[in-house]
Structure 1
Amino acid sequence: MMGSIDCMHWQWKNCPRAWKGLYQGRSKSATVILEAVASGDLWIWHAFFGTPGTCNDINVLARSPVFDDLYQGRAPEVTFNVNGNTYNRGYYLTDGIYPKWAVFMPAIRLPLSPVDELFTKRQESVRKDVERAFGVLQARFAIIQRPSLIWDEHLMWEIMLACIILHNMIVEDERDTYLNYQDASDFEQENASIASTSSSHRLETFYVQPGRYNDIGMQQYLQNRADAWDRDVHNSLQKDLAQHIWHNCRQSTNDE
């Protein structure tokens, strides 16, 4: 699980009259949408801002670059095992509006068994991380909590980006006070030990070639996108996660 994804609306009070119909959604006021991915410590590591408020989460996703690295083969390789099955795609926790892709994991809409009920309860509790991040972001910076008085949409994006950067700086500074915090110095010591080995085993220098990066071709691009949209993998992963959570819960209950 790589985090939770959701959207937040920022009211645009001084939206130009010519754009009013484009940005005015069902709230009857002009808004601009922020799509964000947040982890459990409220770190916001993906932000896409500027979609008109008339769009829903699916329309925002169609414009968002959140999966560009995955489609173009630049995303880090991910492999994990759940309930005896191996998967090679990370996933985001979502609400019910998002499509049933291999990279999305919503709650079960109508759980009919204790296994599904427990999975839905755990998924909904963890998915609130991104909504908590939105709440903390607005509580820290009143400028994005109140209706925007700015005329320029690009300036609104700069303000939103500055608030997100400052928010992440605060999270990084206070992360060691969290209940489930793990000291990252362990990884730093491990990397230092690797770098201090003999010269024949030292890490190679990484170079970035100018021009188009990682040209995988259209065929591989379409295949990566089809793998990310695979509904069968989504259903299989959801069942395996439900069983995994159920077995762990029963085991912890027996241990007590």
Structure 2
Amino acid sequence: MFFFGSLDLSSSDNYFTQRVDAANKDGIYPLAKCTTAMRMLAYGVDADVIDEYIKIGGTTALEYLRRFCKGIIRLYEQEYLRAPTQDDLQNFLHVSEMRGFPGMIGSIDFIHWEWKTCPTAWEVVSHVLWIWHAFFGCPGTLNDINVLDLSPVFDDVEQADGIYPSYPTFVKSIRLPQSEPDKLFAKYQEGYQKDIERAFGVLQARFKIIREPARMWEILYLAIIMRSCIIA
């Protein structure tokens, strides 16, 4: 997608076109700008490393990365990071029934991007590794439960019970199942849990930047990078 994204960015964002400077000299090629961002995403390299390969300074490389990720989100978020339609839901329900877990529409879990304040991303994934919901943020002392509570994924179905929100859509696992029905239930549920673990594995394999510690990013830029990687 990033290859086609670079073409779309060149036609929709003047920043990713070749311009001339005050001395009437040609600036950096659009492909070099996009390559800079893609190398940082794919390999997780520092911005200064780009200077040795593409001859672009670290500060400029970071700006290209931010602009590139924002452009990917602007162009493709509505298509590749959207809530499922009725047809999508019917397909999910059909597949889940065939897999022995009727009523299942996806798996939800979290992924940590190592950082000094530990930001967390909640994601909802289908069996085809389609991440159709992602909520990123909440640094500091907030834990996974707080992050989920702030996420809008269950706004339409949330039912409050006193001060504690209730999520009827959650199906918890059975610890140490003893009966045969419980063992069968746990087996199928664990199978679905592997969907999201596999999605996280694919995501981190494609984009090393989110597998390595993030030492130089502000929380806003971390969220932009994470969302663009999910879309791609």
TM-score, normalised via structure 2 length: 0.49
Instruction: Looking at secondary structure, tell me which structure has more helix per residue.
Output: 2
TM-score, normalised via structure 1 length: 0.45
Bigger RCO (CA 8 Å, 6+ sep): 1
